[in-house]
Each structure stands twice: as structure tokens, then as C-alpha cells.
Amino acid sequence: MIRQLCAGGWMLLMISGCTALTPESAPSLPVVVPESYANQPFNDLGAAMATPITHWWTVLGSRELNAMVQKGLANNYDLKIRRARIAQSAAVLKKVTAARLPGLAFSIGGTRTHTRSDMKGSSPSDNSSHSWNGNLSASYTPDIWGNTAASVRAADMALDAARQDYNETALALTTDIAERWVNLISVRERLKLLHSQIRVDTAELALQNLRFLNGKASALDVSQQRESLAKSLSGVPLLEKEEKQEMNALALLMGGTPGQPIALDTTTFPNMTHTTSPGIPAALLAHRPDIRAARLRLMAAREDVAAAKADLLPAFTLTASALFSSGSLDLLFQNWVSTLAGSFAGPILDGGRRRAEVERTRAVVQERLNTYAKTVATAIGEVEDSLVGIDRQAEYIQRLEEELAAAGISLKNSRVQYLNGQGSYLNYLTAWSAIKRLERQLVNERANLIKKRIALHNAMGWQAAEAIGVDDNV
């Protein structure tokens, strides 16, 4: 009998590779990936797969920023959370893989029995006895239908998806740090410009007071200039608040505690006038970590379907055990009985629970498929938005510069007319207020243009796994 069971078990092992269930065919992607971007630069229409830029932030040419990014990659809390999730997924993979191996268990115990007899007409008697027993059992379930293999593949893909989540978070972190760094330069440059404008307003107020004393200016002219100075001064607290908030955000991104000052030596914007070629939309499928993660989760869901279908079929289990018993511990392993058994077990009636699980996993595949499609479509949209944003923002800055130049001419003419008694001081202040506003706005919009170019790098997914990824052994 034992030989027949063993022979049957070996036969099942030999045919398991041929009878294992395979994942269902991959569904088609319900989104059309265009051949090129609608807002792609004209001179870039023939670009194919653009070459990824390793450590994209280095194109900004700032050692200061490089140090901030490296500190963030080492200390950021979100990345630490992602690393912990990778470790969780790795542990799940080890747990699922362990189902492929035989199981071995043991137990050992002892019993002491005490008996007292006190019968009438006889003296009391006490008897005691000891017994010891042990058990060693082994079991193995061959993966005939491939459900364990499918679960292992699904867990392995889930681990890879967790790594891609890490890369997505790391990429977002680098762009967040770069954008906050640009914001900090912008607010400090606007503060510097505002203080310069305040000095001009202060000097102009002193001049108007002197002209008033000499009878060449009215009290209205003086009060209007005082109002102009007060308006400039009122902008200082807002910019100082913005500066503190940007420093707090940077400190948190780098894994520090908000409230600590950040030394920033850079006082001018980086020279980032060139727009990186986005290549073709299909390149996003390889570059974007969120797209890779969505695809891996879709593939893992297909493996879950195969595992659920395999659970509908009977399972073969081999078991072996050895029982030990003795009245003396030193003789425990001298008396034993061994057994070897094999069994088939499968569902007959389960109320449709297993088939419902198959339906559930198939629905998960559809969910993951549409999530994948949405991720791809969103990525293409982000690149399109970045391209059109860069183009329109550059033109907007050009128009603001033209407006500033025209305002400068108006300021000069209104000043001459006022000094010649041909115009009011209000005309001069109106032109001066326009210049102050445009100068600060230009600083802000130039920062926005740089941030839009930074956002393009983020939208293209450059660079994640190859540049700042995690150890595959995590």
C-alpha cells in the first residue's frame, strides 16, 4: 500500500508541470496611446525614444540643490514608509513561497498519574505512574495545478510594484525639493526687489515733503506718496511668511524638523532655458514608475485568477508521522509507530464560494486594467499640460516684459509732465505702481516657468529606478 501511494505521489509530481493552470490571456488596453504629443515642439516631431536623464535635477547646475536632493533621498519620511512597505511585500513573498516546501512538526509531552486506594478492612495504598509520548509529522502538498506557483508570481509582482511605488515617491520628492528651492529663491528675490522699491518710495516721500515745504507740491501729493510707501511696506510680512513656509516645507522634505533655518547661498534662478525632449508617448510605459506599478498589479491580478481557478480542483497531500510512547523518558524513542498516507481532497458542495472567488478575481483584473489605462492616460495628459504650459508661460513672460518696458516709458513721461506742471502726481504714482507690480510679477512668473520645466521631468518619469531606486534585496 505504501509503495502504491509513493508511486502515485511521484506520478503526480511528474505531471504537475503539464497540468498547471496558466493565467488568462492579457486583456487589451482600453486607451489609445498616440504616436506623438499634440503640443510637441515642431523641431522635435521626429524624436523617437528620448534618452532618459540620470539624476535629472543636475541639469539645474546647482551643487546646493544636489545636496538637498541627496539629503531628502536619505532621510525623507515618505521614502522610509515606502521602504517599510517593500519589506512587508518581501515578507509576504517569502511566506507564499514557503507553501512550496514540505512541512515538519513535532510534539512531546509527559503525564504523571497518581492513584490512592483506601478500602475498608485494608490499609490505604498510593500508586503513581509516568507516561511519555512524542509525535513527529510531515506533510507535503504538490502544486499539481499551479495555484501555489501563481500565488508566488503574484506576490513577486506585488513586490516589484512596491519598488515602483518607492521610485514614484522618490521622483516626486526630487521634483518637490527642486520646486521648493525655486520658490525660496523667488520669494527672496521678490523680497530683495521689494526692499529696493521701498527705498525708492522712502526717498520719493522725503523729496515730496521737501517740495511741499518749498510750495512746489501739494499736501495731496505727499499723502499719495505716503500711501504708496505704506502699500510697499505691507507686502513685506506676506513675503516673509511665504519664505518661512517654504523653508519649513523644504526641511520636512529633507527629513528634518520644520522651523529650522535653511542656508541658501543661491540668489538667482538656475539657467534652465532648454526644454527637454519628451520623446514619444509610448516611452512613458517604460519610464514612469506609476505606470510600471499599475501594469505589475494588473499582471498580479491575472495570477490571482489562475490561483482561484486552481482552488476549484482537488488537492493531493502526502503525510507521514511517527508516534513515540513509553513509561520512561529514556526509553521514549525505543517504542514507536510510523504511518505514511496519501489523500485526495476537493470540494463537492461549498455554496459557490470558490466560484465566487474566481468571479471576484476576474473583476479585480478589470479594475486593475482600467486603473492601468487611467494611469497611462493621466501620464500623457501631464506631459501635454507641461508642454503647453512651458510654451504659453514663455510667451506670457515675453508679454510681461513688453508691458514693463511700456510702463517704464509711461513713468518717465508722467514724471516729466508732473515736474513741468502739465500732469498730476497721481499719474506718476499709477505708472510707478504698475512697474513695482510688474517687476515682482516677472520674478514670480520666471520661477513658474522653471517649475513647469521641472514638472515636465516629473511627468516623463525621469529618472527613477535606475538612478534612485532601491536594493532588490530589500
In a domain, 282, yes or no: yes
Q: What is the pLDDT of residue 467?
A: 43
Q: What is the pLDDT of residue 338?
A: 74
In a domain, 39, yes or no: yes
Which cell numbers hold the place of 408? 517704464
In a domain, 322, yes or no: no
CA nearest 74: which of 254, 260, 257, 261? 254
Q: What is the pLDDT of residue 120?
A: 65
Per the CB < 8 A criterion, the answer to whether 21 and 145 are in contact is yes
* CATH value at residue 357: 1.20.1600.10
| Residue partners of 334: CB distance under 8 A and separation at least 6 | 326
Phi then psi dihedrals of residue 47, to 5 deg: -70, 135
Q: What is the pLDDT of residue 449?
A: 94
Q: What is the pLDDT of residue 133?
A: 80
CA gap 399, 418 in Å, rounded? 28
In a domain, 364, yes or no: yes
Q: What is the pLDDT of residue 93?
A: 95
In a domain, 129, yes or no: no
Q: In a structure prediction context, what are the per-residue pLDDT tens digits for the chain, which is 474 residues long?
A: 445 444 444 444 444 444 556 666 666 777 788 877 787 764 554 444 455 567 888 888 889 999 999 999 999 999 999 999 999 999 999 999 998 888 888 888 777 776 766 666 666 666 777 777 878 888 888 888 888 889 999 999 999 999 999 999 999 999 999 999 999 999 999 999 999 999 999 999 999 899 889 888 889 989 999 999 999 999 999 999 999 999 999 999 999 889 877 777 777 887 766 667 777 888 888 888 999 999 999 999 999 999 898 888 888 888 888 787 776 666 666 766 778 887 878 888 888 888 998 999 999 999 999 999 999 999 999 999 999 999 899 999 999 999 999 999 999 999 998 888 888 889 999 999 999 999 999 999 999 999 999 998 888 886 544 444 455 555
CA dihedral 115, 119, 124, 128 (to 10 degrees): -10
Give the bridge partners for 109, in sequence order: 133
Ordered strands of the 125-140 beta sheet: 103-117, 125-140, 315-326, 336-345
- Residue 10's Cβ-count burial label (10 Å; 0-12, 13-18, 19+) is exposed
Phi then psi dihedrals of residue 339, to 5 deg: -135, 150
Q: What is the pLDDT of residue 26?
A: 66
In a domain, 185, yes or no: yes
Q: What is the pLDDT of residue 239?
A: 95
Per the CB < 8 A criterion, the answer to whether 280 and 36 are in contact is yes
CA nearest 110: which of 96, 124, 128, 125? 128
Q: What is the pLDDT of residue 464?
A: 44
Instruction: Please tell me the total count of domains within the chain.
Output: 1
CA-CA-CA-CA torsion sign (408, 412, 417, 419): positive
Q: Which domain holds residue 394?
A: 30-99+144-315+353-468
In a domain, 375, yes or no: yes
In a domain, 104, yes or no: no
Q: What is the pLDDT of residue 468?
A: 47
Per the CB < 8 A criterion, the answer to whether 142 and 9 are in contact is yes
Q: What is the largest CA-CA distance in the chain?
A: 145
Q: What is the pLDDT of residue 273?
A: 63
Q: What is the 3-state secondary structure (H, E, C) of the chain?
A: CHHHHHHHHHHHHHHHHHHCCCCCCCCCCCCCCCCCCCCCCHHHCCCCCCCCCCCHHHHHCCHHHHHHHHHHHHHCHHHHHHHHHHHHHHHHHHHHHHHHCCEEEEEEEEEEEEEEECCCCCCCEEEEEEEEEEEEEEEECCCCCCHHHHHHHHHHHHHHHHHHHHHHHHHHHHHHHHHHHHHHHHHHHHHHHHHHHHHHHHHHHHHHHHHHHCCCCCHHHHHHHHHHHHHHHHHHHHHHHHHHHHHHHHHHHCCCCCCCCCCCCCCCCCCCCCCCCCCCHHHHHHHCHHHHHHHHHHHHHHHHHHHHHHCCCCEEEEEEEEEEEECCHHHHHHCEEEEEEEEEECCCCCCCHHHHHHHHHHHHHHHHHHHHHHHHHHHHHHHHHHHHHHHHHHHHHHHHHHHHHHHHHHHHHHHHHHHCCCCCHHHHHHHHHHHHHHHHHHHHHHHHHHHHHHHHHHHHCCCCHHHHCCCCCC
- Residue 283's Cβ-count burial label (10 Å; 0-12, 13-18, 19+) is buried
